[in-house]
Amino acid sequence: MESRFLEETANELQSRINLTNAAITELRVSSMTMEGLEKEKKDSQLFVPIGGGSYIKARLETAKTVVLDIGADVAVERTLKEAKEELEARIEKLEKTREAFGQQFNQVIERIQENRGKLEEVTAKLREGEKQSGVREAKKRT
């Protein structure tokens, strides 16, 4: 019973680690995009992703500010520098979260391995006990 719970916990932690990695990757891409925008001039032509591998052409009005999502369907305008700093802070927080999930995952895996080791010991003792008690093993049918 505990083994099943531990395996489910390990799967859930692995899923959370994967989601955290995806969020970190998305934030890093956003940060790199902002760095690229700093080099662009007004009226530069850009391709803006609209989802599903599709893009629209757009012209850059200004590279001084960006609209940054702050959660709960709320977005604010920030300078490029402020936005990059905010993204870096989010990345750091997510990396700490990922590290905590990783530590929990490792602890769960260690516990699973301990349980398997104990199960193997018990199984070996039972087999040894069968041999010593004179219980014969069943013959294989051919």
Residue 103 counted as domain residue: yes
Residue 124 counted as domain residue: yes
Three-state secondary structure call for residue 137 = coil
pLDDT value for 134 = 57
pLDDT digits (tens, 9 = 90+) for 10-51: 999 999 999 999 999 999 999 998 998 888 888 899 898 898
The percent of residues in the chain predicted with pLDDT above 90, rounded, is 59
pTM of the predicted model over 0.85: no
Residue 111 counted as domain residue: yes
List the beta strands (DSSP E) in the chain. Answer: 45-51, 54-59, 65-71, 74-79
Residue 142 counted as domain residue: no
Residue 137 counted as domain residue: no
Range of the domain at 95: 2-132
Query: Of how many residues is the chain composed?
Result: 142
Domain CATH for 24: 1.10.287.370
Residue 8 counted as domain residue: yes
